[in-house]
């Protein structure tokens, strides 16, 4: 979105997807159907790497961190859950002040629940 924040669209299996300007398939819905991050209860966050403290290394754009910054200093919802392979776990991700930690992470090997202390 033009303001640098993610919007979320409803989608069901078999529904039409169209490629956005970055070539990423998205649900083909009118703008009025898009939901802001504050309206979500549960969000699966993509990542490149994660550590045992719930810090994630994203794709470098800061989209999830900006979109969920309203959660800074307060607990879920929305619950931020990472989806990863166990091989993506690293010893330490050095978070920046703006990085939003995960509440949980699911991999093929395990489920991790992280300390619910909100980011400050």
Domains observed in the chain: 37-113 (3.40.50.10420)
Going by pLDDT thresholds of 50, 70 and 90, the confidence category of residue 61 is confident
pLDDT tens for each residue of 64-84? 889 999 988 788 899 999 999
pLDDT tens for each residue of 13-34? 989 999 988 898 999 999 899 9
- The mean predicted confidence, pLDDT, of the chain is 89
Tokens of 85: 């392979």
Going by pLDDT thresholds of 50, 70 and 90, the confidence category of residue 87 is very high
How much is the pTM? 0.81
Q: How far is CA 1 from CA 48, 51, 94, 105, in A?
A: 22, 29, 28, 26
Contact 42, 77 (CB under 8 A): yes
Determine the pLDDT at residue 24: 86
Tokens of 35: 């939901």
Share of the chain above pLDDT 90, in %: 57
Q: Distance (Å, rounded) from C-alpha 23 to C-alpha 38?
A: 26
- pLDDT mean over 41-45: 92
Going by pLDDT thresholds of 50, 70 and 90, the confidence category of residue 116 is low
Beta strands in 34-76 (DSSP E): 35-36, 42-45, 49-50, 56-57
């Amino acid at each position: 979105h033009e303001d640098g924040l993610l919007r979320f669209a409803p989608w069901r299996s078999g529904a039409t997807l169209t490629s956005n300007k970055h070539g990423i398939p998205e649900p083909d819905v009118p703008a009025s159907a898009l939901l802001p991050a504050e309206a979500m209860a549960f969000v699966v966050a993509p990542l490149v790497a994660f550590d045992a403290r719930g810090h994630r290394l994203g794709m470098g754009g800061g989209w999830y961190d900006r979109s969920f910054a309203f959660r800074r200093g307060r607990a879920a919802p929305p619950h931020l859950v990472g989806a990863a392979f166990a091989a993506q776990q690293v010893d330490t991700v050095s978070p920046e002040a703006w990085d939003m930690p995960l509440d949980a992470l699911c991999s093929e090997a395990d489920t991790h629940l992280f300390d619910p202390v909100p980011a400050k």
